[in-house]
Chain A
Amino acid sequence: DAEITQSPRHKITETGRQVTLACHQTWNHNNMFWYRQDLGHGLRLIHYSYGVQDTNKGEVSDGYSVSRSNTEDLPLTLESAASSQTSVYFCASSELEDLISTDTQYFGPGTRLTVL
């Protein structure tokens, strides 16, 4: 069955270190998204991609970067981790551009990141 996976599921790192969170989907979807979820804020969009070599900034993109070299993967990099980036990170994918479509987003299981 098609799925979307994230790794690692849990990560503890130190302030200032570079961290990369992996997201891999086997739906063959064009669109991929990264969100962070914090208590009291709900889910917030970090970056998104509508296809290979395409990346776009979301609402809370500062301190994060993504690259899309193939359809299946969208890794999220924290260039220099900060304590404010302690959060749960979710990756999602969908097929159609969400202009007027009702395309479903499929979410991964999440990565819990702690920055000490």
Chain B
Amino acid sequence: KNQVEQSPQSLIILEGKNCTLQCNYTVSPFSNLRWYKQDTGRGPVSLTIMTFSENTKSNGRYTATLDADTKQSSLHITASQLSDSASYICVVSAFVGQFYFGTGTSLTVIP
């Protein structure tokens, strides 16, 4: 069964600290993996997109990694800010129209 699992479910960190969010998937065949940031009450916004051949992609303080062999991805946030408080969603695409969403990690950054 095609699934995307994210961990931890929720995370609280101090402002300025780094953190890493995990995404494990069993989706096959694999097309690409995306990380989205979703602020409360808003739609998701794309952070990174990686294909099979890419193992690292950065977007400012966000760095995503992909290990297609172990079917794992991580999203590393450097020097966290209060505005990073949001839900982070991992999405794996298979064929046309097939998107598999994780349930997200809720990140809270406190001063």
Contact = CB atoms under 8 A, between A and B. Distances in A.
A90 B101 contact: no
A105 B42 CA distance: 14
B103 A42 contact: yes
B97 A109 contact: no
A102 B101 contact: no
A98 interface: yes
Interface residues of A, number: 25
Interface in A29-53: 40-45, 48, 50
A50 B95 CA distance: 14
B45 interface: yes
Q: Is chain A's interface secondary structure helix, strand, loop, or mixed overall?
A: loop
B97 A48 contact: yes
A107 B43 contact: yes
A98 B46 contact: no
B22 interface: no
Contacts of A58: 97
A90 B51 contact: no
Contacts of A41: 103
A42 B104 contact: yes
Interface of A: 40-45, 48, 50, 56, 58, 90, 92, 97-102, 104-110
Interface of B: 4, 31-32, 34, 41-46, 49-51, 89, 91, 93, 95-97, 99, 101-104
